[in-house]
């Protein structure tokens, strides 16, 4: 059993990673300020795993409060860093908010790791680093040219970790994942955006349940097979499993370099319209939707070449599109029962 620090542990990705960590036998400590998460998540996770974990309501941008956690809980064997703002559209209208939160929080965490000799780090990165790629599918060696402020903060984060790892003090894996969707099969945790959802699937499920009146598909004039954006959608549980595999790769001393990056995706591109149609078919429900204007910062098409993760880490996704749609809807219905 290893002791793992998870930042953003009550968020969408962090909560699923904690479930996977606990089921793998690890001890977990979480930091989450609940700005974009719910304080009831630890209880939900316990209902799945039967295990508790300590969550500190701390903002990573507050270095003094972060240090208190490190002093109280160290030593750790590894850290998975999820905590960040992640809405592409919001990042374009509030760039300073994103630079301050995502980069200062990361720098504070890295400085704390240095002080407490926490060397093994898994960084939650993103496929938005690739911008609008010249060819598909994208692999880890493709040119990085993020178009949104959010993507730029993740690109800068990777560079910071890369330079820190070059000193020999850290070993870092950056996971560039594509579009996480779905929910845990228990329907006890899932994506729970505060306010109006910025991502397609929660907006879709909230429209289906009646919280949102209308789903707008942003843009129908892109140069794709049906005019809507193409993305690589991957089940959140597959993303969580990948973080555990990457962490154990670090802990077992298998890293040949101090810094490495891996794409996480299905290697299949689905259009937004195809996602809407899939949701309707799998769940036997009709969505109220229309086409709307393009959304600033969105890229045309993106899907992964994830062969490196399979070859090096031994990871590949297990869940199909039907599972993504079915679990997302089950989670939304569970939330409706609790309201």
Catalytic positions are: 150
Contact between 83 and 69 under an 8 Å Cβ cutoff? The reply is no
Tell me which H or E stretch contains 244. helix 236-251
The Cα-based distances of 191 to 59, 200, 222 in angstroms read 21, 11, 27
Phi first, then psi: what are they for 259, rounded to 5°? -145, 135
Q: Which residues pair with 29 in a beta bridge?
A: 5, 54
Do the bridges between strand 3-7 and strand 78-81 make them parallel or antiparallel, or are there none, so unpaired? Answer: parallel
3-state helix, strand, coil in the chain (%, to 5): 40, 15, 40
Q: Of 187, 182, 184, 180, nearest to 330 (Cα)?
A: 187
Q: Of 105, 193, 207, 201, nearest to 157 (Cα)?
A: 105
């Amino acid at each position: 059993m290893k002791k793992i620090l998870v930042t953003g542990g009550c968020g969408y990705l962090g909560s699923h990673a904690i479930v996977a960590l606990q089921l793998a036998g690890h001890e977990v400590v979480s930091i989450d300020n609940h700005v974009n998460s719910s304080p009831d998540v630890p209880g939900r996770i316990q209902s799945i795993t039967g295990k508790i974990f300590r969550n500190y309501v701390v903002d990573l941008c507050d270095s003094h409060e972060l240090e208190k956690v490190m002093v109280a809980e160290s030593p750790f064997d590894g850290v998975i860093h999820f905590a960040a703002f992640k809405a592409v559209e919001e990042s374009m209208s509030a760039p300073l908010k994103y630079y301050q939160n995502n980069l200062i929080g990361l720098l504070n965490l890295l400085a704390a790791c240095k002080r407490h000799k926490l060397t093994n780090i898994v960084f939650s990165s993103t496929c938005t680093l690739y911008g609008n790629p010249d060819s598909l599918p994208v692999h880890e060696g493709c040119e990085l040219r993020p178009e949104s402020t959010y993507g730029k903060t993740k690109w800068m984060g990777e560079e910071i970790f890369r330079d820190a790892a070059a000193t020999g003090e850290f070993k870092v894996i950056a996971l560039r994942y594509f579009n996480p969707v779905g929910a845990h099969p228990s329907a006890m945790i899932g994506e729970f955006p505060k306010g109006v959802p910025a991502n397609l699937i929660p907006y879709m499920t909230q429209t289906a349940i009646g919280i949102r009146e209308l789903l707008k598909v942003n843009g129908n004039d892109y140069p794709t097979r049906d005019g809507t954006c193409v993305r690589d959608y991957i089940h959140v549980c597959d993303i969580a499993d990948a973080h555990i595999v990457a962490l154990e790769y670090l802990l077992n001393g298998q890293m040949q370099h101090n810094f490495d990056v891996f794409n996480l995706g299905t290697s299949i591109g689905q259009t937004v319209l195809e996602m809407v149609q899939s949701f309707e078919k799998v769940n036997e429900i009709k969505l109220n939707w229309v086409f709307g204007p393009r959304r600033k910062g969105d890229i045309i098409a993106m899907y992964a070449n994830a062969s490196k993760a399979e070859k090096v880490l031994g990871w590949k996704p297990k869940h199909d599109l039907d599972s993504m749609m079915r679990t997302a809807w089950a989670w939304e219905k569970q939330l409706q029962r609790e309201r």
